[in-house]
Structure 1
Amino acid sequence: MVKIALAGGSGEVAHEIIDGLLAAGKHELTILSRKVLPKSWPFPQSVLTNRHQDATPGGLIEGTTWVKVDYQDKQSLVQALKGIHTVLSFIVVQQDPGNVAQINLIEASVEAGVKRLAPNEWASPNTPGPWQPGKIAIREHLKELNKDKKVLEYSLFFPGQFLNYLGTPNKTAKYLSQLNTWLDFANTRAILVEGVEERISYTTVQDLAAVVARAVEYEGEWPVIGGVHGNTITSLEAIALGEKIRGRPFAVERVKAEDIKAGELKSSWVPLLEHPAIPKEQAEFFSRIFVTSALQGSLENAWEVSDEWNRLLPDFEFTSVEKFLTEVWAGKP
């Protein structure tokens, strides 16, 4: 049994990982949040006691506790982390100016005697975008923390892209929002960069959650670089699978590398992001930023990740791209 705290634990990816940890049936989870326990918390209401629905700290499911915290108050974080073995962070970098919240969490973890921590990564090491400078700063902070002697074991979990997104608009995960990408399987079309044959690592969010559940039990030392190598294929290989399963060709549109480098997406269509955090009137604006950043990553092969956790957990079987696409798209119009 491992005592685990999840910081920013009310987010979508955090929810999926909570499910994976609960499925193991071995751990005690403390969910840290700036908010009181909401009535809309997405676990069945039958498992919530009336006594704790609005309380903080409050009980949710056996072995799970919700604690309201102030990330600006390091000493209150120290108290919340007393007795915790592993901290998993999902603090949104772009909502944490100066990384104050996550740095306080890291320093409080050290003071409270936490053994392990995973900072908010959960994508690829070189993913371009406005969030990247903050993530790099946290990596440097952790590296500096351990430069003289190891005071906190940590791992940067890199699962690449979530394979679930290739199933959009079909719901393929319990909590994760389905996002449209430049590989549009619903409309059998794609946007690619001229002259680029990028390789992308795909992992379902369910597989990531299962890997994390095994990682918290892992008795050896965590690898600093924690690649979770679900599947790695090129976009053209993914398109070929899509054409085979969907039974019709994809319309592939190529954009110029120099335009993408300049931050310009000159395509005839834009995959619109539909997410609760994005106002509908701003969807196209943010969609262009997201897709342009993602395609900039393609220029740098930023979406391919390593396989450290695969090698440490050799018996784990990942969901293949072909199996996933077949289950989602076979027989669909």
Structure 2
Amino acid sequence: MVRISIAGGSGNVAREFIDALLATNNHTIIVLTRTAPKDDIDARITQRVVDYDSPEQLVDSLHGIHTVLSFIQILSDVDQKAQKNIIDAAIKAGVKRFAPSEYGSAGTTNMPWYEGKQKIREYLEKVNETGKVLEYCLFQPGLFLNYLAFPHKTSKHLSPLGTVFDYQNKRALLVEGHEDALMTLTTVDDFAAIMARAVDYHGEWPAVGGIQGNKVTVTAIVELGQRLRGQPLSVEKVKIEDLEEGKLTSSWGLEVPHKSVSKEKATAMLKQVTIGMLLSTAKGAWDGSDELNRMFSEYSFTSMEDFLSKGWIKK
């Protein structure tokens, strides 16, 4: 049993992981929060209010902590100051392990909303450049498979989010000439289960922790949607040259923004994310690795068809 600190622990992805960690009953869990403690948090969890702009307070909060996992919303962390301060404090406090706020794609190309992830990847490399002072792992499950059930909620905490594969309206967007681009998709339950195993793992974490629930082509995703919905999906193909120029020539795009995006910025952000998702997929950013599959080879992942059949076969 070790002491685990979770930064940004009130977010929906963090709460999925926390539930899986609580189920093991193996660790002391401390959630770091900027605001007052929340009433709907499990009583087994200690909530600690911290100022992420105060290095001294962070060091005090992390004394005696074995592992720190960050789920801080990177869009709200200007220049990733909070995460950098947590990393610095973790090193000073003698923390053994750290996981930055990743939990998505392997690459960040053409996804400006993920620039913060790249900054933290580079920062972690820098702090260890003359010798390892902090063990860390980039946990990358690809796209949460749950999002393909949009608008239906398929897990306790994760909010539904639309993608370029819109099974609800029987349509999809693809990049012309890149129909065989690969994507990694993992259910949030499988992600949380693997994360809990990683926390229990006694060996050294790999720097990159790819999690492959499913690896399929974008064409296979469309074909599955057609089987589940009982008729062909309307597929629009866009040219990569237009996307590179910031042009979205399709008749539709993403319509529901992430809850972290303000109403004022939503329209521009939705277009940017639609273009970015298409471009990044075509360039392999969502073709994740399988380090944690190999580390926990006994674990049986949920197949895409089995999972989505439960969500769509009755719709």
Counterpart in the other structure of 1:137: 119
The one of 138, 160, 166 aligned to 1:156? 138
Work out whether residues 201 and 231 of structure 1, in 8 Å CA contact, stay in contact via their aligned partners in 2. yes
Alpha-carbon spacing, 1:277–1:142, altered in 2? closer, same or farther (3 Å) = closer
The one of 145, 151, 164 aligned to 1:169? 151
Work out whether residues 82 and 112 of structure 1, in 8 Å CA contact, stay in contact via their aligned partners in 2. yes
Q: Match for 1:92: what amino acid?
A: Q
Counterpart in the other structure of 1:115: 96
Work out whether residues 148 and 308 of structure 2, in 8 Å CA contact, stay in contact via their aligned partners in 1. yes
Please tell me the root mean square deviation across aligned C-alpha atoms, in Å: 1.4
Correspondence list, 1:65-80, <5 A: 65-80=46-61
Correspondence list, 1:18-29, <5 A: 18-29=18-29
Work out whether residues 270 and 284 of structure 1, in 8 Å CA contact, stay in contact via their aligned partners in 2. no
Distance 1:132 1:275 in 2: 13
Counterpart in the other structure of 1:322: 305
Counterpart in the other structure of 2:2: 2
Distance 2:252 2:291 in 1: 37
Q: Match for 2:290: what amino acid?
A: D
Q: Secondary structure at the match of 1:265?
A: coil
The one of 230, 236, 247 aligned to 2:219? 236
Q: How many residues align?
A: 313
Work out whether residues 199 and 301 of structure 1, in 8 Å CA contact, stay in contact via their aligned partners in 2. yes
Q: Match for 2:181: what amino acid?
A: E
Distance 1:276 1:102 in 2: 20
CA deviation string 1:154-194 (max 9, x = no partner): 00001100000000111111111111111001111101111
Work out whether residues 2 and 216 of structure 1, in 8 Å CA contact, stay in contact via their aligned partners in 2. no
Alpha-carbon spacing, 1:133–1:278, altered in 2? closer, same or farther (3 Å) = closer
Distance 2:167 2:149 in 1: 7
The one of 260, 264, 275 aligned to 1:292? 275
Q: Secondary structure at the match of 1:216?
A: helix
Distance 2:254 2:223 in 1: 20
Residue identity (%) = 47
Alpha-carbon spacing, 1:274–1:148, altered in 2? closer, same or farther (3 Å) = closer
TM-score normalised by structure 2 residue count: 0.95
Distance 1:131 1:245 in 2: 32
The one of 57, 79, 82 aligned to 2:63? 82
Distance 2:90 2:238 in 1: 46
Distance 1:89 1:107 in 2: 13
Distance 2:247 2:33 in 1: 37
Gaps of 5+ in 2: none
CA deviation string 1:39-73 (max 9, x = no partner): 4x4x4xxxxxxxxxxxxxxxx422x1011101111
CA deviation string 1:270-308 (max 9, x = no partner): 221254334556543322111111111022111110000
Counterpart in the other structure of 1:225: 208
Distance 1:20 1:167 in 2: 22
Distance 1:291 1:312 in 2: 34
Work out whether residues 188 and 251 of structure 1, in 8 Å CA contact, stay in contact via their aligned partners in 2. yes
Alpha-carbon spacing, 1:283–1:145, altered in 2? closer, same or farther (3 Å) = closer
Counterpart in the other structure of 2:296: 313
Work out whether residues 124 and 158 of structure 1, in 8 Å CA contact, stay in contact via their aligned partners in 2. yes
Q: Match for 1:216: what amino acid?
A: V
2:103 matched to 1:97? no
Alpha-carbon spacing, 1:284–1:98, altered in 2? closer, same or farther (3 Å) = closer
TM-score normalised by structure 1 residue count: 0.90
Distance 1:168 1:283 in 2: 18
Counterpart in the other structure of 2:167: 185
Distance 1:178 1:129 in 2: 20
Q: Match for 2:167: what amino acid?
A: F
Alpha-carbon spacing, 1:275–1:94, altered in 2? closer, same or farther (3 Å) = closer
Q: Match for 2:255: what amino acid?
A: L
